[in-house]
Chain A
Amino acid sequence: MSKKAVKSVSPAQRRTTGEKAFAVFNGAFFILFAFLCTYPFWYLMINSVSDNAASAAGKVNWWIQGFHLENYKQVFGLEGMGQASLVSLGRTVIGTVLTVMASAFLGFMFTQKKMWHRQFWYRFFVITMYFNAGIIPAFITMKNLGLTNTFWVYILPAIVQPFNIILVKTFIESIPSSLEEAAEMDGAGTMTIFFKIIMPMCSPILATVAIFSAVGQWNSFQDTLIYITDNKLYSLQYLLYTYINQANSLAASVKANAGTAMNVAAMATQQTPTSIRMTVSVIVVLPIMFVYPFFQRYFVKGMMLGAVKG
């Protein structure tokens, strides 16, 4: 994307002093901003593997001091942590697979001109992007359906995503229909065409949908907050939130809850609340940091496609 833009700058013009000053200032700004965007993550990472005493004294700012992995061992030993990881992982994998399949299928079906009242049903889905009953009615509905405090509350509402359907439909419409027609001539049924021809051809857009959905699922926090009270179904994000909040008053709760089952409080006697918080943060952010550079182009593509349709 930058090639053309760079060219526009070049045509052998000498830079004036003003332009040079601007270039320096501009470069400095971006260095600073990039630093601000990344340093906090670096800070969390080095502190999670550094000597806890040095970390608590605020000495670990640039590099690891007294490397150890005890924090991670302890954190994974925390009751609830393994379960929350499973929940987060489960909802990310299952939720993503289902929404990708649904988006691909619905996007494809809405290109089938034969379908009964196709336009009506397409709008029926798309219009849901523009209204929202609100969280309380949604909560009451889920409760009445018996979905609160079940794993499915993470999955079912996320399957049909009108925006993704639009993306896939637009994509399919942009590819020549001759292949599909040829397959139809050869007697392939709708489902065969979908699985054998459309799905493979759509893989770029489906990858985009998958990544957005996976990041969304992994990062989702509000649904646990609203629909879940059973701590077996807490997601990692929610667990992290409770840890941060408990850390606020942890000193007090260590004394108060000496004998009770407060995991975090019990842990604080060995690790500091801060070290636990940072370690959990790193665990939560690591998957994103890990996949992000590889999939950046998909993110960008998804955003552009979204912009085109609007």
Chain B
Amino acid sequence: MESQSDASTVSLTKSGPDRATGLKRKNGVARNHVKKDRGGGQSVRRQGFKLWMLIVPFIILSLIFSYLPLFGWVYAFFDYQPPIPLSESKFVGLQWFKMLVQNPAQLHTIAQVLINTFAMSGLGILTSIFPLFFAIGLNEIRTRWFKNLVQTLTTLPNFISWVLVYSVAFAMFSSTGMINQLLENLRLIAEPVKFLDSDSWTWIKMLLWSLWKGLGWGSIMYLASISGIDQELYEAAQVDGANRWQQILHVTVPQLMPTYMVLLMLSVSNFLNNGMDQYFVFQNAFNLKHIQVLDLYVYNIGMGNNSLSLATAISMLKSLVSVVLLISVNAISKRTRGESII
């Protein structure tokens, strides 16, 4: 959309002088209607090229750090053992991809990893409506300073790293942590409860941590949307005799739905990309089975087990599926909402 308007303004400004001189140089105009204008075109183009030269360093940075790693995908087709350079590594074709589905043990692990990934992302999507409720609830609070205070305090966890979240978790929930000590001092338990070093409820715990970190922050966008809702809608609802609850249900929620849908679609397109920070810091020998999502698994086998080729094969598949997901979600969005999300 934007590119079109740009193009049209460009051609407008350029066709101006063209038309002025056009009568004199009919040939030139007919041949090269847009580009030639009083020979100034040459200098404009040179200027444009000079401008481009200024961004070349950044193009190089982008090439190196965003595009070049794509060529790293070739390692998925070799048996790459780090000290030996790629040129001396054996070309194995699709061996790693075949191994993923043919080796039973590997297949079993991959299946579990996928289940974990789907569970965490699924739970994330199921709870993605929570920030919306959070915002509506917060908006119902009438004391302004309290509302602002809550907003400030609840968005804070979003700005700390997952390492710090883990440090907090450790201080609170480890066997010598605050909760266990409190329970022991109250003589409620004899043995410390293993909140962290166990595999019970791993998915739910991870969900709770990400809610703790992200709920307040996630609600900010909805709060802003709420304040942008046309007040006449509420007045009309009041005239119709709607109470607060009905106003929320029939005015606020429908008004927030477009925002919610965009975010929902984005999280669907990121279904395979859980990131690894959270799961990496919380992983240990006990919960490994249920905490290993795709991103973490790729790291663990690549950097931990040094199976760089296999890890590359998996991350390549993951990236390709993600791009396909993004494109299809975008297509759905275009069809249903008439707007693209990317």
Residues of A at the B interface (CB closer than 8 Å) are 1-11, 13, 16, 18-19, 22-23, 26-27, 29-31, 33-34, 36-38, 40-41, 43-44, 47, 56-58, 61, 102, 105-106, 109, 112-119, 121, 124-125, 128, 130-141, 145, 156-157, 159-160, 190, 215, 218-222, 225-226, 237-238, 240-241, 244, 247, 274, 277-278, 281, 284-285, 288-289, 292-293, 296, 299-300, 303-304, 307, 310
Contacts and interface: CB of A to CB of B under 8 A. Distances in A.
B101 interface: no
A41 B212 CA distance: 13
A113 B45 CA distance: 11
Contact of A293 (B69, B152, B341): B152
Interface string B154-183: 111101111110111011100010100110
Nearest to B215: A33
B141 A27 contact: yes
Contacts of A284: 161, 163-164, 167
Contacts of A299: 155, 159
Interface stretch (B2-10, B106-114, B118-126): B2-10
Interface string B303-315: 1000010011001
Contact of A61 (B167, B178, B215, B227): B178
A30 B6 contact: no
A4 B227 contact: yes
Interface in B199-256: 212, 215-217, 220-221, 223-224, 226-227, 231, 234-235, 238, 243-245
A57 B185 CA distance: 9
Contacts of A190: 51, 54
B291 interface: no
Contacts of A1: 223-224, 227
Nearest to A125: B62
Which one of A102, A134, A281 has the highest number of Cβ atoms from chain B below 10 Å of its Cβ? A134
Contacts of A27: 141, 146
Interface of B: 3, 6, 9-10, 44-45, 47-49, 51-52, 54-55, 58-59, 61-62, 64-73, 75, 137-142, 144, 146-150, 152-157, 159-164, 166-168, 170-172, 176, 178, 181-182, 184-185, 212, 215-217, 220-221, 223-224, 226-227, 231, 234-235, 238, 243-245, 259, 262, 273, 276-277, 280-281, 295, 298-299, 302-303, 308, 311-312, 315-316, 318-319, 322-323, 326, 341-342
Contact of B319 (A6, A134, A222): A134
A275 B232 CA distance: 57
Given A58-B178, A115-B51, A136 B302 contact: yes
Nearest to A173: B2
Nearest to A169: B2
A205 to B, nearest CB: 17
A19 B178 contact: no
A139 B161 contact: no
A139 to B, nearest CB: 7
A40 B167 CA distance: 10
Nearest to A115: B51
Contacts of B167: 44, 240, 244, 277-278, 281, 284
Given A44-B168, A303-B220, A136 B161 contact: no
A244 B52 contact: no
Contacts of B315: 133-137
B65 A221 contact: no
B273 to A, nearest CB: 8
A160 B65 contact: yes
B149 A34 contact: yes
A139 B302 contact: yes
A286 to B, nearest CB: 11
Given A113-B6, A140-B72, A304 B166 contact: no
Contacts of B223: 1-2
A125 B262 CA distance: 23
Main secondary structure of the interface of B (DSSP, over half): helix
Nearest to A137: B72
B168 A41 contact: yes
Contacts of B217: 303
A307 B166 CA distance: 29
B140 A8 contact: no
B239 to A, nearest CB: 11
Contacts of B212: 36-37
26 contacts: A3-B227, A9-B244, A11-B235, A19-B245, A30-B138, A33-B154, A36-B212, A58-B176, A105-B54, A121-B55, A124-B62, A135-B302, A137-B312, A141-B71, A219-B164, A221-B163, A222-B277, A226-B299, A241-B163, A274-B171, A281-B171, A285-B160, A285-B164, A292-B156, A299-B155, A303-B217
A61 B184 CA distance: 14
Contacts of A56: 176
Given A37-B157, A307-B221, A115 B52 contact: yes
A303 B68 CA distance: 30
B181 A58 contact: yes
A204 to B, nearest CB: 16
Which one of B45, B71, B153 has the highest number of Cβ atoms from chain A below 10 Å of its Cβ? B153
A160 B58 contact: yes
Contact of A304 (B171, B172, B221, B277): B221
Contacts of B302: 135-136, 139
Which one of B52, B55, B185 has the highest number of Cβ atoms from chain A below 10 Å of its Cβ? B55
B51 A156 contact: no
Contact of A128 (B66, B156, B181, B231): B66
Given A2-B227, A274-B176, A278-B171, A240 B326 contact: no
B140 A310 contact: no
A116 B142 contact: no
A211 B280 CA distance: 26
A141 B168 contact: no
Nearest to B60: A160
A6 to B, nearest CB: 6
